[in-house]
Amino acid sequence: MARSAISLPSATPGSMSAIDRGPPERGGAVEQPANSAAHSSHDSARALIRRPVMYKPYAQHLGAVNSSLKCCDFALALCSVCALEQDRAISLPPMRIIAVVLMLAVAGTSGATEQAPWDAVRDEAIRAHVEFLADDLLEGRATASRGYDIAARYVATQFRAAGLSPAGDHGRHAAPDETLDPTDAPGGDKDTARAYYQHVKLLEATPVLPGSSAEYVDQETHTFEYGTDYLPSADYLAASSSLTAPLAFAGFGVQAPQLNYDDFTDIDLKGRIAVVLSGAPARFPLAQRVYHAWHGRKFELLIEHGAVGVVIIDSPEDLERIPWKQRVAMSWVPRMRLVDEADEPWEAYPELKLRFRFSHAAAARLFAEAERDLEEALARAERGEAQNFPLPGLLTLSATTGLRRTDSVNVLGVLPGADPSLQDEYVVVTAHLDHLGRGPAIDGDNIYNGAHDNAVGVGILLEMARALSASGVRPRRSVLFAALTAEEKGLLGSDHLARHPPPEARALVANLNIDMPMPFARTRDLIGIGMQHSTLGSIAARAAAAQGYRLTPAGDPELMVEHRSLIRGDHFSFIRQGIPSIVLSNGERPRDAAIDLAQIKRTYRERHHHEPSDELRLPIDYAAAADLARVNLRIVLEAANAPVAPRWRNGDFFGETFSRPAAD
């Protein structure tokens, strides 16, 4: 449940909420503690830390996170949080800062211990990160919101405290203690946290429901209703648009000559609205199936064949996975696209003027007078038969879209490689920092916290960065840690990073993505999504075995087909650039036989994923999360130290499709 007692204060001119052209919703009323006025300049540091709401959470979290850091790093982290509090329009006298820093410095440890990075991982540190990031204070960390800005600053602070060099737009790998030249902070001091920021320009598009309509004319006129019959897409190029055109059905919208399958044989789509099914034929090999189910590939083919619009119908499998009612419930989430160097939306597919999704009941109307009805078309699709045919009548679609330009940031910290000949090759560890923010209230709670999706993933990443840096181990290649924005908007932050890596990076050679690892309980196995496609799989299997786990590929339909695992996470942005990628998640075999882990995961997906209830009250086994961090660290070190960077396996579909050299 959302805790109304904690709310975000409004931004002040020049504060961090701008990043710096933030949306209006980053503001909000300041809720001060009842006793805030009683504090005076002679308050002790101890009383300051006890201050309700404002300081206690930060002291607790930073204390757990930094207990093994050098005391100067601890002091630095606290100062960064104090800077955040100044951003939140709170006056903090300099002597107070000094008092708190000195007290914590004395309590801090004197230096980093020398040990293997995986031995330095602490589950309590991961817990501390997750409890901060998934708190109502951050209001769900929606992309380009104030809550996300706070989360980004927190991550940058942790990178700096861990000793990572900034790799953002202004960082250019300056050491954490060097003078940087990012945007000035309020008061004229340099805001070193922003040196870790890679800015991402975005265009937000929100369908305006009163302005959308769908009408079909054959023998008579049929007017469809929003929500019941259709859901409009966002138009990134115009605030208002409409389209009237004839229709044609093009099966799954798939063309795969290597599999003797073509939905476009002898069909003319020029000037037509294409009607296609989601998904891809079940008889396809798994990699080809998820690739051809990707909407981006479908849209490219539809454009090649002259379509001017598209109506998507859920395949029976997809409809079972995401019922129509659930799609309608999630239609409030604004859409986004990257803005490219020409200031145009990236991958907006302007040739497809409008894109709508129709329910089965509405789609059946389009097929009523065709050569075969929808039921027969679906049955043939289930059998894996390519098909296409014209549909009678004309369809008129209209949409009104609210457009807003904004921006957000990826947060990038790098541990430079020790080998001068390899340090410009980067192994990239990623986890998306964003979630959904505020939305429709469910049981009185309108904050979609995203504890498992993906505060846990970010917590694991932060502890990996700290443990590796503190160990003193320096791999040959550089290791880039990236907390990414706008994953929930379509993998946008990762797309930007994969296409625009730090200038010092000659090549991104491997990606380890941490996304919704679901550590509900400790298991005997781990799932390796993508492990069979590249030599990262062998590295990951050895790493898992070293920690007492068995690594298995994600061949389970629940994990791979149902969730489109290879194309529904930030790792796919790197795969598209030819970069081998792997994602580890908790396995299926609990160590405690009394735990029904399959049921726990099923319940999470059905009741909590992308709901306000994905919050800290759900089970999180931090020992399991720490083990995931340890295994990932072993993968990082082997990949970063190997004489040859990870490669796609010979003949691998993704390796061949995205043109990267295969393994020997």
pLDDT at 110 > cutoff 80: no
As a whole number of angstroms, the distance between CA 171 and CA 191 comes to 11
Partners of 222 in beta bridges: 216
* pLDDT at residue 94, as a whole number: 44
Q: Is the pLDDT of residue 488 over 90?
A: yes
Q: Say what the pLDDT of residue 553 is.
A: 83
Q: Which two tokens stand for residue 571?
A: 């790792």
Percentage, residues of the chain above pLDDT 90: 70
Q: State the chain's mean pLDDT as an integer.
A: 83
- Is a pLDDT exceeding 90 seen at residue 193? no
Question: pLDDT band for position 332 (50/70/90)?
Answer: confident
Most confident range (mean pLDDT) of 41-50, 125-134, 558-567 is 125-134
Q: Which residues pair with 455 in a beta bridge?
A: none
Average pLDDT over every residue of 19-29: 37
CA atoms within 13 A on the CB side of 569: 28
Q: How far apart are CA 77 and CA 100, in angstroms?
A: 12
Q: Are 568 and 585 in contact (CB under 8 A)?
A: no
pLDDT band at 659 (very low <50, low <70, confident <90, very high): confident
pLDDT band at 564 (very low <50, low <70, confident <90, very high): low
Which residue from 618, 607, 614, 599 is spatially nearest to 558, judged by alpha carbons?
599
Confidence at residue 539, expressed as pLDDT on a 0 to 100 scale:
98
Q: State the alpha helices, DSSP H only, in 163-285.
A: none
Nearest to 485 by CA among 442, 433, 533: 433
What's the confidence (pLDDT) of residue 321? 85
Q: Using the predicted structure, report yes or no on whether residue 453 has a pLDDT greater than 50.
A: yes
Q: β-strand 445-448 against 437-442: which pairing, if any?
A: antiparallel
Q: Which residues is 551 bridged to in the sheet?
A: 526
Could you give the domains of the chain? 202-404 (3.50.30.30)
C-alpha–C-alpha distance, residues 485 and 141, integer Å? 9
* DSSP secondary structure letter of residue 272: -
Element at 499 (helix H, strand E): helix 492-499
Residue 22 in 3-state DSSP?
coil
Where residue 191 falls among pLDDT bands split at 50, 70, 90?
Answer: low
CB burial of 229-243 (b: ≥16 within 10 Å; e: otherwise) equals: bbbbbbbbbeeebbb
d(CA 654, CA 252): 20
CA distance 629 to 635: 10
Confidence band, pLDDT 50/70/90 cuts, at residue 567 = confident
For residues 17 and 627, the model is more confident at: 627
Average pLDDT on 93-110 reads: 38
Contact between 542 and 548 under an 8 Å Cβ cutoff? The reply is no
Other C-beta atoms within 10 Å of 404: how many? 14
Q: Is the pLDDT of residue 4 over 90?
A: no
Predicted confidence at residue 20, as pLDDT, reads: 35
- The residue type of 337 is R
CA 377 vs CA 92, 363, 393, 646: distances in Å: 68, 11, 18, 43
**For 374-430, how does the pLDDT look when each residue is reduced to its tens digit (9 = 90+)?**
999 999 999 999 999 999 999 999 999 999 999 999 999 999 999 999 999 999 999
Residue 437 bridge partners (DSSP): 448
Write down the pLDDT at residue 99: 40
pLDDT score recorded for residue 68: 39
pLDDT given at position 105: 38
Q: CA-CA distance, 307 to 253, in Å (whole number)?
A: 11
Residue 61, pLDDT > 80, answer: no
Dump pLDDT digits (tens) for 251-298.
Answer: 999 999 999 999 999 999 999 999 999 999 999 988 899 899 999 999
Report the candidate in 132, 121, 138, 133 with the shortest Cα–Cα distance to residue 622.
Answer: 121
Smallest CA-to-CA distance from 156 within 539, 534, 413 is with 413
Spatial separation of the C-alpha atoms in residues 403 and 237, rounded to whole Å? 9
Q: What pLDDT score was predicted for residue 171?
A: 62
* Pairing verdict, β 221-224 and 197-217: antiparallel
Contact in structure between 374 and 246 (CB atoms under 8 Å): no
Paired tokens of 180: 């940087």
Instruction: Tell which wins on pLDDT, 112 or 403.
Output: 403
